[in-house]
Amino acid sequence: MILSDMTSSDVDSYNSYRVTFKPNCSLSTSGKVKVVLLLTVIPCSIGVGFSLLGAWLVLPFVGIEIFALGYAFYHVNSHASDYESISIDGDSLVVERCNGQHVSQHLLNPYWAKVVRRELSNGELCLSLLSHGKEIEVGRYLTRKQRESLAEQLQKRTGTFFKTLK
């Protein structure tokens, strides 16, 4: 499971709010290099040993294994700087996401935004913001408990229009 850093800053609890989520990247760059080297040296030495014994057909499979390992670490490393940010400042609510090299921003009005909680069949909680027919899922890097906390915080700061209708 991916854990996250959840940082928030409250300047004025009704006018300004910002929270940022990041996936947990517990392995440093040098640690990743050491793991890749270790996981490359072991199959190479086993493959060379078998090829010296006459089973040279093992070497193409060792190459495929090393390629797959390299691609997996490349993919993980390219998403190491991903984040999700929710900020409310006055009459704008901005949800910003960075996924790999792609950064997207969604702008909503906090007075019209509604927090939607949905229970999934596997027991997870799906959290999204709904406004003017646009639904944006938030809290991808959070645990269920953290999503519930985020939902409470966002409900305090959004949907003023819906609160006056009740």
Quick: pLDDT tens for 66-119.
999 999 988 888 888 899 999 999 889 999 999 888 999 999 988 888 898 888
pLDDT tens for each residue of 50-69: 999 999 999 999 999 999 99
Domain identity same for 88 and 111 = yes
Distance, in Å, from the CA atom of 59 to the CA atom of 101, rounded to the nearest integer, reads: 35
Domain identity same for 103 and 128 = yes
Q: Residue 33: which domain range?
A: 29-78
Q: Beta 102-108 vs 92-99: how paired, if at all?
A: antiparallel
Domain identity same for 52 and 85 = no
Is the full-model pTM beyond 0.75?
no
Domain identity same for 73 and 140 = no
Domain identity same for 61 and 91 = no
Domain identity same for 120 and 141 = yes
